[in-house]
Amino acid sequence: MIKKKIATKPVKSTTEDNSKSKSPSTLISVDIGRSSVKAAWSLNKTTKGTLEFPLVVAKGKKFLSENTTSFSMEEETFEMFVYEDKSTPTQYLFGNSASLHGRNVKSDFSETQVFHEYAVHATLFCVGKILAKDCFKKSKSPHEVVLSINLTFDNIQSSSFYSEKIKKVHSLNIIEFGNKIPVKFSVKELYCFQQGYASIFNFLGKKNESTIFSNTGLAIDIGRHTLDISIVSNGSLFSGTSLPIGTHQLIDTIKIDSKAKGLSLTSSDIEKSFIDPKVVFRSLKSEPYYPYKTFEEKIPNYFRMVTEEILSFVGGKEISWIIVVGGFTPYLKKHLEKEFSSIPYSLVENPRFANCLGMVKFLETF
């Protein structure tokens, strides 16, 4: 395991000296994983929202023309996740839309440079999609945006790449149900935060704020592909690491187990059973199969592996608190309570969007 010593403060990039100017009212935070993209936004600290889609991308010259209303009658209400790069022009189709209608669909982002290139476009799509909302149409255009991008530890060193690419873009088109919506904006400030660490800002103004920001603790982000561990001291990032032991290992184990019983389950099928343990699948040759039962059998071994990595990384450092985030964390609750019974630990109100919401809250303090 390789430990990385990283910046103790957010990586910030600005286009000009604006230390005396008023910060823009439009705050956007994008959390980029290899399986999905999440975003949170705030307008004047009052109107807020979130956005999420799978990181499945199709790239082409034309998916939708300006007059296209839908791909089929059955999908009249299906919202197309499309944005158009006006400089090319190239259209990018995201999420389930890409899976259904895309050509040359890209969903494997194991190659780092390819991931960064598509992550830039996913970030721009989030910005455009948010600014195309009705609540922004009355505000001044071009919109001035403060943007935060949350990356894993192994990707945070590429923050300059994101800044260079994103700040060159000042307009794009969002296509919704065939309607082309032009969006103009400028990214006034851009921050890059490490996933996990960003989540601590959810506790600003909460009763345990002093504990978290005045002591040394752990922020743990359990993602689909990585486990990100942050050691935080007095609110600053001391050190961190990113390990390839995300929850995909559990999901892949269930896939193998179900295949032996004549089933071919997708990740989506399996995740549905986490929400509802009664979800059942049947094949012609097997008894009813409950993925959640296999999950319950396999999770102790997975959690033991996660715990060993955390303890190894921490070493003998004294830890006063633990924060655990990621969409999977509610299913680990009883294991967390058992393993860390001697250390106060917290689950944020919305662990799935914890990085995004934490960063929006951080940006609102300026």
Identify the structural domains of the chain with CATH numbers, from first to last: 11-194 (3.30.420.40), 217-349 (3.30.420.40)
User: Band of the pLDDT at 102, cuts 50, 70, 90?
Assistant: low
What gap in Å lies between CA 348 and CA 320, rounded to an integer?
17
Going by the DSSP 8-state scheme, the letter that residue 331 receives in this structure is G
Q: Write out the DSSP string of 9-50.
A: S-EEEESS--TTSPPPSEEEEEEE-SSEEEEEEEETTTEEEE
Q: What is the pLDDT of residue 320?
A: 92
pLDDT of amino acid 6: 36
* Residue 161 φ/ψ, nearest 5 degrees: -65, -45
Higher pLDDT, 285 or 252: 252
Residue with the bigger pLDDT between 252 and 334: it is 252
Residue 74: pLDDT above 70? no
Q: What is the pLDDT of residues 122-163, one digit of tens each?
A: 899 899 999 988 888 777 778 999 999 998 877 777 788 888
**What pLDDT is stored for residue 330 in this prediction?**
79
Q: Which residue has the higher pLDDT, 344 or 277?
A: 277
Chain-wide mean pLDDT for the chain? Answer: 81
Does position 272 have pLDDT exceeding 60, yes or no? yes
Residue range 303-317, pLDDT digits in tens:
889 889 998 999 888
- Bigger pLDDT: 114 or 281? 281
pTM: 0.83
Residue-level pLDDT at 10: 52
**Sheet architecture: strand order including 236-243:** 236-243, 227-233, 216-222, 321-325, 345-347
What pLDDT is stored for residue 108 in this prediction? 74
Q: Over 70: is that where the pLDDT of 75 sits?
A: no
- Give me the pLDDT at residue 282, please: 87
pLDDT at residue 231, rounded to an integer: 95
Asked whether the predicted pLDDT for residue 71 surpasses 60, the reply is no
Q: What is the mean pLDDT of residues 196-221?
A: 92
The set of residues, in sequence order, having a beta carbon less than 8 Å from that of 162 and lying 6+ positions away, is 116, 119, 120, 123, 149, 190, 192
Assess whether pLDDT exceeds 50 at residue 251: yes
Contact 293, 257 (CB under 8 A): no
pLDDT for residue 69 is more than 70: no
Amino acid of residue 240: G
User: What's residue 22's pLDDT?
Assistant: 57
**pLDDT confidence of residue 114:** 82
